[in-house]
Amino acid sequence: MTQTNRGTVLACCLAGAWMGLCLPATVLAHLGGDAASVHNDRAALSGQLRTSSMLQYDAHEMTLPSGTVVHEYVARSGAVFAISWQGPSPPDLSQLLGAYFPRFTDAASAAAQGQHGLRRQLSSVQADFVVQSVAHLRTFRGKAYVPSLVPDGVAVEQLP
């Protein structure tokens, strides 16, 4: 583990300890991570970052080299409570979902056991993780969030 990673995980544990959140040490950055993790995402994905501050959260908009635009939403508590993406290819979801990525693939596997053939859309609503993803031709859109981290009064469905 690098020094940077250790620092990130420590920050994560400190920021998240009060809500029982401490993510695996191997995770660089992700949904549920802290504000610093956004910058790790930017570096890992070589994105261009633009940040705007709202009353209850900061919205970080990252444009990836692929042209896909990713939003990461960081609450005043310091936690990344939601991410979204839209563009000509999906972003690296293992990076952006981090510890929640296995939950995403579990949901996709579960959908494969249902009556779907092709899956243009994937939706999974769990108590502590919600994700929706849409794939059509050359357009990919999705959003994921952790309900327990969403600031009061923020309507996740209205976030870009």
Partner 1 sequence: MSLRRLRWCAVGVLVALAACGGGSDTTGSTTVSNVTSVFAAGGPNVVTMTVTSGPPASTQNVINIPYVSVTVCSSSTSCATIDHVLVDTGSSGLRLLHSALQASGITLTQQTDPANQLDTLAECLPFAGGYSWGVTASADIRIGGESASNVPVQVIDDDGSYAPAVPKSCKAYGVNETVSSLDANGLLGVSVLAQDCGIHCASLANNGRYFSCSASACAPAAAPLQNQVVNPATLFATDNNGVILQLPAIPAAGAPSATGYLVFGIGTQNNNGLGTATVLASDNNGEFVTSFNGQMLSGSFIDSGSNGLYFTDSGLPMCQGSATQFYCPATTQDLSATNQSQTGVLLPTSFSVANVQALSKSNFALDDVAGGLGSNVNLTGNYFDWGLPFFYGRTVYVAIEGMTAGGSMGPYYAY
Contacts with partner 1 by CB under 8 A lie at 65-68, 84, 88-90, 92-95, 104-105, 107-109, 111-125, 130, 132-143, 145, 156-157
Buried b or exposed e, range 7-19, using 16+ CB within 10 angstroms: ebbebbeebbeee
Q: Of the two residues 11 and 44, which places its CB atom closer to partner 1 in the complex?
A: 44
Two tokens, residue 89: 């290819």
- CA-nearest of 30, 42, 140, 119 to 83 is 30
Nearest distance from C-beta of residue 134 to partner 1, angstroms: 5
Of 51 and 121, which has the nearer Cβ to partner 1? 121
Bridge partners, 80 (sequence order) = 74
Write down the least CB distance from residue 129 to partner 1, Å. 12
Neighbours of 41 (CB within 10 A): 28
CB of 46 to partner 1, least distance (A): 8
In the complex with partner 1, which residue's Cβ is closer, 152 or 157? 157
Question: Quick check: 128 and 111 in contact, CB under 8 A?
Answer: no
Nearer to partner 1, 117 or 153 (CB): 117
For residue 81, the minimal CB distance to partner 1 (Å) is 13
Least distance in angstroms from the C-beta of 25 to partner 1: 19
Residue nearer to partner 1 on the CB measure, 22 or 154 = 154
* SS3 category, 17: helix
- Given a contact cutoff of 8 angstroms between Cβ atoms, the answer to whether 146 and 131 are in contact is no
